[in-house]
Amino acid sequence: MSNVLVLVDHTGGTVRKTTAELLTIARRLGEPVAVYIGEGVQDALPALGQYGATKVIALTDPELTQYLVAPKAEALQQVAAKLEPAAILISSSAEGKEIAARLAVKLDSGLITDAVDVQEGPVTTQSVFAGNYTVQAKVTHGTPIITVKPNAATPEAAETSPEVEEFDVTISDAAKTARITDSKPREATGRPELTEAAIIVSGGRGTGGDFGPVEAFADSLGAAVGASRAAVDSGWYPHAYQVGQTGKTVSPQLYVAAGISGAIQHRAGMQTSKTIVAINKDEEAPIFELVDFGVVGDLHKVLPTATEEVTKR
Ligand code: FAD
């Protein structure tokens, strides 16, 4: 069976859920080989083995993480030249997409970004034009390089005991042009990562700038907090939490939209959520066309009552 490379998305050895999703998808296409860049590969091994990685290629040269993405693309090019994979899967993060684009140029290969599903072939599914069209595509030239959106697959365990193979790479001077001088993790909120959360509670202009009730309800459910662009543009919540066409795409089990009208650009980022609940004081709000459950009411009254009910249980 052919190898399928999966670039591991991790923070210091803690593997992100998106990698479990990529490994699950890779098993449909061939033998998943995890490519791990940076320190902490031993910490990552159990998670990579749990989702079926047959081998882990470890790239530990510090230069790979001291510069912005160019060295990583060069390194993947060298791994691909040796392993001749049937496909390369990368998470659809900003960094992942830049690595994928550079790699596609280096390998003279076709690239598909933001796949929401990948099946044998590999044939990908993408949701385009703000979610109005679904497109199926296949790379016809070179090694298919595919970036996959978070939540495109449900991680399915398949225990393996992958061995680690150290891989030496040569980084060109041309790739060492943008050095990282400082790197601080975002302040921890204690809430799940937005794109990985099973439950999201989002607030919009209807919050009037007070995200307290949204955060309290989110915390009662162990949920992540999201925001509409109107809330972000008003400076009420950071852009990192924006859901929509120009924000994050999410697909949780439960999405609660509070004080959000349901503009097409917001829907583009959340309409594949499994269950959608809206709280809006306007019963004509377009978000109600999309919901499984709707509450017509003032979020400042509905959310605290809901929080109290959940906390009681
Ligand atoms: P509004 O549309 O103003 O809706 C507020 C809602 O809150 C109303 O329905 C109102 O009835 C309700 N409300 C008010 N008070 C209360 C209350 N007390 N209790 C309950 N309900 C209340 N938007 C995004 O969200 N994400 C994107 O990524 C995005 N990208 C965009 C990209 C482009 C190119 C463009 C042009 C626009 C984009 N937008 C995006 C903006 C989008 O068009 C909308 O303007 C935005 O989503 C509106 O946000 P909102 O629903 O919070 O505000």
- Average pLDDT score over residue span 198-215: 97
Task: Please give the Cα distance from 31 to 6 (Å, whole number).
Answer: 10
208 Cα nearest atom in ligand 1: 15
- pLDDT tens for 241-299 read 999 999 988 888 899 999 999 999 999 999 888 899 999 999 999 999 999 999 999 99
Is ligand 1 within 6 A of the CB of residue 266? Answer: yes
- pLDDT tens for 84-113 read 999 999 999 889 999 999 999 999 999 999
Q: What is the pLDDT of residue 33?
A: 98
Q: What is the pLDDT of residue 131?
A: 73
- Average pLDDT score over residue span 20-39: 97
Tokens 């599903």 -> residue: 117
Task: Please give the Cα distance from 303 to 213 (Å, whole number).
Answer: 6
Is ligand 1 within 6 A of the CB of residue 203? Answer: no
- Average pLDDT score over residue span 65-86: 95
pLDDT at residue 60 greater than cutoff 80? yes
Is ligand 1 within 6 A of the CB of residue 242? Answer: yes
Tokens 């249980």 -> residue: 313
Please give the full DSSP string across 134-197, using - where no structure is assigned: EEEE---SSS-EEEE-TTSS--------PEEEE------GGG-SSB-----PPPP-SSPPGGG-
Provide, rounded to the nearest whole percent, the portion of the chain with pLDDT above 90.
Answer: 80
Q: What is the ipTM of this complex?
A: 0.99
Residues forming beta bridges with residue 126, ordered by sequence position: 115, 135
What SS3 state is found at 200? strand
Going by alpha carbons, the residue nearest to atom 25 of ligand 1 is 228
Alpha helix stretches (DSSP H) within 30-93? 41-50, 63-66, 70-83
pLDDT at residue 313 greater than cutoff 90? no
pLDDT at residue 196 greater than cutoff 90? no
Q: What is the pLDDT of residue 102?
A: 97
Predicted TM-score of the model (pTM): 0.83
Is ligand 1 within 6 A of the CB of residue 265? Answer: yes
| Dist. CA 247 → ligand 1 center (Å) | 13
- Average pLDDT score over residue span 112-141: 91
| Average pLDDT, rounded, for the chain | 94
Q: What is the pLDDT of residue 280?
A: 98
- What are the binding residues for FAD? 205, 228-229, 242-246, 259-266, 280
pLDDT at residue 152 greater than cutoff 90? no
- Average pLDDT score over residue span 59-88: 95
Q: Give residue 128's pLDDT band: very low, low, confident or very high (50, 70, 90).
A: confident
Going by alpha carbons, the residue nearest to atom 36 of ligand 1 is 265
Q: What is the pLDDT of residue 155?
A: 92
Is ligand 1 within 6 A of the CB of residue 209? Answer: no
What SS3 state is found at 284? coil
